[in-house]
Amino acid sequence: MSYLNLFVIVPLLTVLAILFTKGKKNAKVISAVGMSIQLILGIALIFMYLAERKVNPAPMLFTQDNLWYQSLNIHYFIGVDAISVSMICLTCIVIFAGVFASWQVDYLPREFFISLITLSSGVFGFFISLDLFTMFLFYEIAVIPMYILIGIWGSGPREYSAMKLTLMLMSGSALILVGLVGLYFNSAPNGGAYTFNVLEIAKVHIPIEMQRFLFPFLFMGFGVLGALFPFHTWSPDGHASAPTAVSMLHAGVLMKLGGYGAFRVAMVLLPEAATQLGWIFIILTTISVIYGAFGAVVQKDLKYINAYSSVSHCGMVLLAVLMLNKTAFNGAVLQMISHGIMCALFFALIGMIYGRTHTRMIDEMGGIMKVMPFLSVCYVLGGLASLGLPGFSGFVAEMNIFVGAFQNPGTFYRVCTLISCASIVITAVYILRVIGIMLLGQVKHEEHNHLTDAHWYERISAGTLVATLLIIGLVPLWLSNMIGNSLVPIAQKFLAVIH
Amino acid sequence: MNLHSFLLMRHELMLTGIALLILFIEIFFNEKRNHAIIPICISLFFINTVIGFLLPSHSGTLFGGMYKTGELQILMKNVLNVGVLIVLIQSVKWLKSVENIGKTNEFFIILFSALIGMNFMISSGDFLMFYLGLELATIPMAALAAYERSKNKSAEAGVKLILSAALSSGIMLYGVSMIYGMTGSIYFDDISTAFTGSYGLNALALIFFFAGMAFKISLVPFHLWTADVYEGAPINITSFLSVISKGAAVFILSIILFNVFRSVIVMWQDLIYITAAITMTVGNLFAIRQTNIKRFLAFSSIAQAGFILLGMISGNQIGMTAIIYFVLIYIFSNLGAFGVATAISNATGKETIPEYNGLYKTNPKLSLTMMLSLFSLAGIPPVAGFFGKFFLFTAAASQGFYWLVFIAVVNATISLYYYLLVVKAMFINHNDEPIAYFKSDFYTRLGLLICLVGMFVIGFASNIYEFIFHVVSKI
């Protein structure tokens, strides 16, 4: 019985506990307790992982392997390396903050928290799985509650956005499924049983024609969730309509499922195809990065600004993954963590500000800094991290990505890297514009003067996220060493393929 | 007839016994106490289902090879029995209604005869027995579809069913006659060795036979009768038609394709490839436009039949296992959806999707059951439909049909759209006059509970899949 099982069991127990209680208040209290336990488990996991890593050189730690469907050789196989550990901790922090950010949900609160936590259990399951079947199972569990969450508790054109988001993500999973069964039936070229085991498939050499066939399916499939251009259109609508906690979880964690899956499944299992066909996706991700940034500049709705900024930042993750060296991979993982925290922070703050001013249009607000100092300072800190200021997590991540990307020789890579680099400047434009118009200056509406600053639960939510941003920014080497350790064998594999 | 042959034919013999017993019991009930016959019939059938599972299953042939049975056939019959049991439980409320007084026993007798026909069909060893079983399964169904004598639509459904069944039988018999002409035999064993060769008359025979069966499974383009019959027939009969009839026809078609037409596998793989792609797409696109819940489920069941073909196209053990496993899951999920629709229809008479608006506010448990059933039909975990669909796709991919799998998963996404429309109606849409709260009776709740438990257990309990795989591997 591996420690990792707890990450799925605790959310499930929380859901069951909510199911069997009545009363509006209990649901949020139970969720808060459950997710606090989850957060403690997550932090403990880092230290347990580091301690175990010193004595155990195996690629995956805390593994547990149970045979599930014998005749198809499907296993319940779980385990983590540093990448999954950091993703799990990210999820713990974001869901913890998310529960506190939705403290004021009073329409069907039980159903809300049940859906939210079911979703998170899918995400945790996805990150611990090493068997493609279980991974896919958890992936779908993570996607479908989104429809109900946005449809019932969303705002604006919620029914349209919810349907669009669900159908686009499910089309993504349709592509993934074809890729998965393709991998399965090519996992035993020398006879023997087929397998869904990620580690086993990584060892076999899949015929190159098959790799070329499967790679686009898998990369695009995960790319849909990672907001790869032109499959990103669900993201602005979805995020804008979703309730606060759902936007947080979605931008903060679910989009990382895309990046993580594209890396761990599409890239690592099909290395030759990744080197040969990578250029197509490098072009698409470059467009994502630039297009997302420009999109954010012209938007006036806070949520749309952040949604487009997510497209840009997640594009950077996919771009870094395609650059095929250790520095860039390291940057990709750091960017996933950094963007996850930052984006969750933004969406939390936007939700809190919107709850008070009842508008998300930046033109209609002004001087918020005077009225809500705590929320505004948090927003500025998040903004600084987002534009990559040293001392924050964003800097470390982007530095790694662009250094890694520039290590690739060849004009094509250089040009794409340079174009993507420009997004840093554009990011500064839209972040500073929002800060200037909305937070600084005179208060535009008389009634805004009477608004209150953050409540205790909102302080917990935003405070956790800001603290994480700062911690990562101040001790980046510690984190990047931990991750880098797990990336060495993967980077070596690609080095061997390229030469 | 000795004990051994009784064991071989136990499903058919016991059912015949029960049907005759009901005729006999009826004498002791006058019209007013007619209700009491319902629990008796259900318990008799329950005992029959249990005995069907418990007695050892041997393989063997009877009547000089016309009747053939083995573990696989017995498993299939057991699966159908489970489905029929749920249908019976769900029908109780409707059978007790005023207009059905005095003809409840007929319902059971006719339904059991249809089931006997299906059992014979599954166990057939030659085309004669197969055809006998098929007709015995179809004609009572027409009587059941027209069961509500006072309603025009019900009568229309009965006539449509019998006419299209007759036409499809004709087409199929034409195919069978060609097969006989080519091989000189109607026995499956003889045909499987003699039916070979390249495209020619045998392709024509295969197409005619397949077209006839496609009518029964309602594959596109032979699906036109389905929606009208499903809509017109009483809703419990519709659920029987969409689950049990379809399941039985799928079983026998896969047995015949896998065994009898083994040597021309390439030929029927092409046929199924095209049919599957069209069936899934057309079924799904038409389902989007439906507002009547019965028509909606009718088109959804057409699309589901298209998915089942993905298991058939593989022609191997994984495929056969996936088909049986999927039909088992499909029984629970579709009957879950039909169960909720039945409960609402019986309590309020409402059968359209817009009328379901705001159902969650008033009837949360029914809405949740409906949602989980629809998720299972759409193939969303953690309910069992996900596993069923995944294994069907795996089966098709095992023969390298990756593009067909792609078409299928895209279709699964389209199907999710219209299933979500129902979920949206129940959970999201507002309604000033939602269906008022009502308390379902014991049988309705029992039926839905069985479906829910089935949906959750079958997926995660891999033993069921392994058991089916084990049984399939023996043939």
- Residue of A139, A177, A211 to mutate when probing chain B, most B C-beta within 10 A: A177
Whether residues B416 and A167 touch (CB distance < 8 A) is answered with: yes
Whether residues A163 and B427 touch (CB distance < 8 A) is answered with: no
Q: Measure the CA–CA gap between A370 and A451, rounded to whole angstroms.
A: 10
Shortest Cα distance, chain B CAs vs residue A152, angstroms: 5
Whether residues B410 and A141 touch (CB distance < 8 A) is answered with: no
Shortest Cα distance, chain A CAs vs residue B451, angstroms: 20
Shortest Cα distance, chain A CAs vs residue B411, angstroms: 9
Residues A427/A309, Cβ–Cβ less than 8 Å: yes
pLDDT for res B30: 67
The 10s digit of each residue's pLDDT in A122-166 is 999 999 998 999 999 999 998 888 888 888 888 878 888 888 888
The 10s digit of each residue's pLDDT in A237-272 is 888 888 888 888 888 888 888 889 888 888 888 888
pLDDT for res A25: 80
Rounded CA Rg of chain B? 21
Q: Which residues of A touch B321 (CB under 8 A)?
A: 71
pLDDT for res B324: 93
Q: Region A172-200: what's the mean pLDDT?
A: 86
Reading the block at residue A330, the tokens are: 């390291």
Measuring CA to CA, which residue among A238, A230, A221 is closest to residue A288?
A230
pLDDT for res B33: 66
Q: Is B151 helix (H, G, I), strand (E, B) or coil?
A: coil
The 10s digit of each residue's pLDDT in A439-479 is 887 877 777 777 777 788 888 888 888 888 888 888 888 88
- pTM (2 d.p.): 0.92
- Residue of A16, A163, A170 to mutate when probing chain B, most B C-beta within 10 A: A170
Q: Which residues of chain B have pLDDT under 50?
A: none
Q: Which residues of A touch B380 (CB under 8 A)?
A: 140, 144
Is pLDDT above 70 for A167?
Answer: yes
In B, minimum Cα distance to A150 occurs at B428
Tokens 């029960």 found at? B18
In A, minimum Cα distance to B467 occurs at A71
Q: Does A112 touch chain B (CB under 8 A)?
A: no
Is pLDDT above 90 for A4?
Answer: no
Q: Does A166 touch chain B (CB under 8 A)?
A: yes
Name B121's Cβ contacts closer than 8 Å, sequence gap at least 6.
B129, B130, B133, B134, B136, B137, B248, B252
- What is the span of the domain harbouring residue A221? 5-498
Whether cis (ω within 30° of 0) applies to the bond prior to B221 is yes
Q: What is the ipTM of this complex?
A: 0.90
pLDDT for res B41: 87
The 10s digit of each residue's pLDDT in B161-189 is 999 999 999 999 999 998 888 888 888 88
Q: Does A133 touch chain B (CB under 8 A)?
A: yes
Measuring CA to CA, which residue among A306, A288, A287 is closest to residue A296?
A306
Shortest Cα distance, chain B CAs vs residue A227, angstroms: 19
Q: Measure the CA–CA gap between B131 and B180, rounded to whole angstroms.
A: 14
Shortest Cα distance, chain B CAs vs residue A299, angstroms: 29
CA dihedral sign, ordered B220, B225, B228, B231: negative
pLDDT for res B58: 78
Share of chain A above pLDDT 70, in %: 100
Whether residues B400 and A213 touch (CB distance < 8 A) is answered with: no
For residue B466, give the nearest of A71, A175, A185 by CB distance: A71
- Residue of A8, A67, A68, A69 to mutate when probing chain B, most B C-beta within 10 A: A69
Shortest Cα distance, chain B CAs vs residue A163, angstroms: 8
- Total domains, chain A: 1
Q: Which residues of A touch B311 (CB under 8 A)?
A: none
For residue B409, give the nearest of A71, A174, A184 by CB distance: A174
Where are the alpha helices (H) located in A271-367, listed in sequence order? 271-298, 302-321, 326-357
- The Cβ of residue B451 has, within 10 Å, a number of other Cβ atoms equal to 27
Whether residues B410 and A171 touch (CB distance < 8 A) is answered with: yes
Measuring CA to CA, which residue among B148, B202, B147, B151 is closest to residue B179?
B202
* AA letter at A9: I
Query: If you average pLDDT over every residue of chain A, what do you get?
Result: 86
Q: Does A69 touch chain B (CB under 8 A)?
A: yes
Reading the block at residue B92, the tokens are: 């109780």
Residues B69/B9, Cβ–Cβ less than 8 Å: yes
Whether residues A174 and B391 touch (CB distance < 8 A) is answered with: no
Whether residues B428 and A152 touch (CB distance < 8 A) is answered with: yes
In A, minimum Cα distance to B407 occurs at A174
- Residue of B281, B424, B472 to mutate when probing chain A, most A C-beta within 10 A: B424
pLDDT for res B289: 86
